[in-house]
Amino acid sequence: MAQLEIRLSGFGGQGLITAGIILADAAIREGKQAVQSQSYGPEARGGASKAEVIISDTAIDYPKVKEPSVLLAMSQEACDKYLESLRDDGILIIDSYYVKKVPETRARVYSLPITELAREKLGKVIVANIVALGATVEITGAVGQGTLEEAVLSRVPGGTEELNRQALAIGFQLGRKQLEK
Amino acid sequence: MGENERQAVLMSGNEACVEGALLAGINFFAGYPITPSTEIAEGLAERLPRHGGKFIQMEDEIASMAAVVGASLAGAKAMTATSGPGFSLKQENIGFAAMAEVPCVVVNVQRYGPSTGLPTSPAQGDIMQARWGTHGDHPMIALMPASVQESLTLTIEAFNLAEKFRTPVILLLDEVVGHMREGIVPPRKEEIMIKKRKKPTAPPEEYLPYRAEPDGVPPMANFGDGYRFHVTGLVHDETGFPRGRGSDGDYLVRRLTNKVKNHFVPMVEEYLTEDAEIAVVACGSVARSAKRAVNLGREQGIKVGLVRPISIWPFPEKAIKDLAGKVRAIVVPEMNLGQVALEVERCACGKAVVYRLNRIDAELITPDEILAKIQEVK
């Protein structure tokens, strides 16, 4: 495998950096090399936020993502801003709750009701990041589902394991339905 | 799992610094949280008390540096962590620690400056400040990790050097290294070497707290162990008391400078420099981009190598001098307007042409930019 570069983007407070950390954690658990980095504004919530993950079989030097092959966009602003960087043969996953205007692109586009499902099925939009992560991993095969679940459970606050497990299952299912289409 | 196949764990450079400090035996931390160094204070606030150490959040950076000096004089292995604006505030007491020969570790996770700058953005603008931020001639040791693993190992090394030389040691991260996460394998306690300050062998009534041994370093008693002595930022003689004599200053400041200058072995990583005609000199996170650029250059048949100063102070003068003797050109990429380049130019003495590559838009320099410069000077 060459380097797989993934960018998770949206606004601050959506848990995208946490999602990036979990994804990198899962890759490390599989014995792969992984680097996770982020950029965010000084505010705790709101503002643009992005997390980047590089997964590779060999050592990773430059730690930033330049041309991701996978872009998750959980806000319209993030979608508009980062789409240009996505590789032509890449995968764009958007949260249809926030991204109403699907941009024109040569990449494969998956428009998924991520936040909507987190709200409807679990009553908590706070786990939209885990739903997104499940769908992203199902669609891209970036890491195994089992290791992702291990990583999620090791990184979420105690007492929220069941909620996050459900969110992850919803994400996997969401991804699978898309792949079956 | 075999002995050499321990499971890697994902952590950030700042988290690795916490692990390194704990492995080194830290037992006192005083600080005032500031982005992008906050995770170090957070981590130690949580973990240090469980290891029997003390964590204290002071009212500001000046006080936290003072607390670190006080704790170290009482025998603690003490550390503080900060970023640019806080590093500026700590300078007065860093100078005091250098003058009074108080071992301690000061972590500065560099962010964009000057002043409050861009709090969450990376830069490497504090390289000269690390050397000369406090006034007067003084020794300085500053280490610059380029990876999460190295954040851990160099934190241990920083403590060891502080103890060995009785002087403040700066661990100079940049925001990229502090905040990026990668898999590392933390060493076991029995795998690391821990250095402790020399203790006096003389009885308390004969102890001269500032009489140096041949390595330039005086043995250090703990306050509270029965050795009464005076500690001051004023020029002092071997008794530790100020006499107001210029000749004492001449002896003392030369000794302080020479104990590091004559005994510290600069740390560098050399990569593909053997047959190199062009070299890149880069440190911290930028060295990662540089390594990629060197590999890309080699793929194009360009004989290019990398020298990475790990100890940025004392600067690896000999390595750069030797390098300048064998390459035609040296490219110095850095996230400032040219600070490492000044040292490279000084050491190269005109024997190789030094080209600068500077970026101050709060983004890490990319491998492509460095490669383009290599091609340009080829």
Pick the residue from chain B with its C-alpha nearest to A52.
B180
Q: A87: Cβ–Cβ under 8 A, 6 or more apart, which residues?
A: A67, A68, A69, A107
Q: What pLDDT score was predicted for residue B3?
A: 47
Q: Which residue has the tokens 């502090």?
A: B178
Q: Do A33 and B181 touch (CB under 8 A)?
A: no
Whether residue B362 lies within 8 A of chain A, CB to CB, comes out as no
Pick the residue from chain B with its C-alpha nearest to A155.
B10
Looking at CA atoms only, how far is residue A162 from chain B in angstroms? 23
> What angle in degrees, to the nearest 10, is found between the helix axes of A128-140 and A16-29?
40
Block means of pLDDT (10 residues each) for chain B, 378 residues, are 70 98 98 97 98 97 98 98 98 98 98 95 97 98 98 98 98 97 95 97 96 97 94 98 98 98 98 98 98 98 98 98 98 98 98 98 97 97
Give the residue from B163, B191, B219 where a domain finishes: B191
Q: What pLDDT score was predicted for residue B5?
A: 65
- B39/B177 same-domain check: yes
Q: Do A37 and B292 touch (CB under 8 A)?
A: no
Residue B206 lies in a domain: no
Residue B212 lies in a domain: no
Pick the residue from chain A with its C-alpha nearest to B183.
A28
Of residues A28, A42, A63, nearest to B176 (C-beta): A63
Average the pLDDT over A67-77 and give the result.
Answer: 96
SS3 letters for B33-76? CCCCCHHHHHHHHHHCHHHCCEEEECCCHHHHHHHHHHHHHCCC
The answer to whether ipTM exceeds 0.85 is yes
Q: Do B288 and A40 touch (CB under 8 A)?
A: no
Residue B255 lies in a domain: no
Whether residue A48 lies within 8 A of chain B, CB to CB, comes out as no
Residue B273 lies in a domain: yes
We report the CATH number of the domain holding residue B358 as 3.40.50.920
Give the residue from B191, B222, B243 where a domain finishes: B191
Residue B2 lies in a domain: no
Q: What pLDDT score was predicted for residue A47?
A: 77
Is pLDDT at A126 greater than 50 in this prediction? Answer: yes
Give the residue from B149, B171, B191 where a domain finishes: B191
Q: What pLDDT score was predicted for residue B4?
A: 52
CA distance B369 to A13: 33
Whether residue A147 lies within 8 A of chain B, CB to CB, comes out as no
Whether residue A33 lies within 8 A of chain B, CB to CB, comes out as yes
Whether residue B8 lies within 8 A of chain A, CB to CB, comes out as yes
- B289 neighbourhood in chain A, CB within 8 Å: 61-62
Residue B248 lies in a domain: no
Question: What mean pLDDT value characterizes chain A?
Answer: 94
- B251-262 pLDDT per residue, tens: 999 999 999 999
Pick the residue from chain A with its C-alpha nearest to B10.
A25
Whether residue A6 lies within 8 A of chain B, CB to CB, comes out as no
Element (H, E) at B249: helix B246-261
Pick the residue from chain B with its C-alpha nearest to A51.
B180
Counting residues of chain A whose pLDDT is more than 70, the rounded percentage is 96
Q: What pLDDT score was predicted for residue B6?
A: 80
Where does residue B85 rank: exposed (0-12), middle (13-18), buried (19+ CB within 10 A)?
middle
Q: What pLDDT score was predicted for residue A151?
A: 98
Q: Which residue has the tokens 């980095």?
A: A37
Residue B119 lies in a domain: yes
Residue B256 lies in a domain: no
- The torsion angles phi and psi of B254, rounded to 5 degrees, stand at -65, -40
* Nearest one of A29, A50, A33, A31 to A151, comparing CA atoms: A29
- B121 neighbourhood in chain A, CB within 8 Å: 39
Whether residue A42 lies within 8 A of chain B, CB to CB, comes out as yes
Tell me which of B15, B111, B181 to substitute to probe the interface with A (most A C-beta atoms closer than 10 Å).
B181
CA distance A19 to B295: 31
CB atoms near residue B237 (< 10 Å) = 16
Note which residues in 291-330 of chain B have CB less than 8 A from chain A: 291-292, 295
Q: How many domains does chain B have?
A: 2
Of residues A34, A42, A63, nearest to B119 (C-beta): A42
Q: B250: Cβ–Cβ under 8 A, 6 or more apart, which residues?
A: none
> Domain A4-180's class?
alpha beta
What is the span of the domain harbouring residue B66?
Answer: 9-191
Q: Do A25 and B10 touch (CB under 8 A)?
A: yes
We report the CATH number of the domain holding residue B114 as 3.40.50.970
Q: What pLDDT score was predicted for residue A43?
A: 60
- A42-69 pLDDT per residue, tens: 665 667 889 999 999 999 999 999 899 9
CB atoms near residue B96 (< 10 Å) = 18
CA distance B71 to B28: 7
Q: Do A62 and B181 touch (CB under 8 A)?
A: no
Pick the residue from chain B with its C-alpha nearest to A64.
B364
What is the pTM (predicted TM-score) of this model?
Answer: 0.96
Average the pLDDT over A110-131 and give the result.
Answer: 97
- B30/B179 same-domain check: yes
Of residues B10, B120, B366, nearest to A62 (C-beta): B366
Whether residue B6 lies within 8 A of chain A, CB to CB, comes out as no
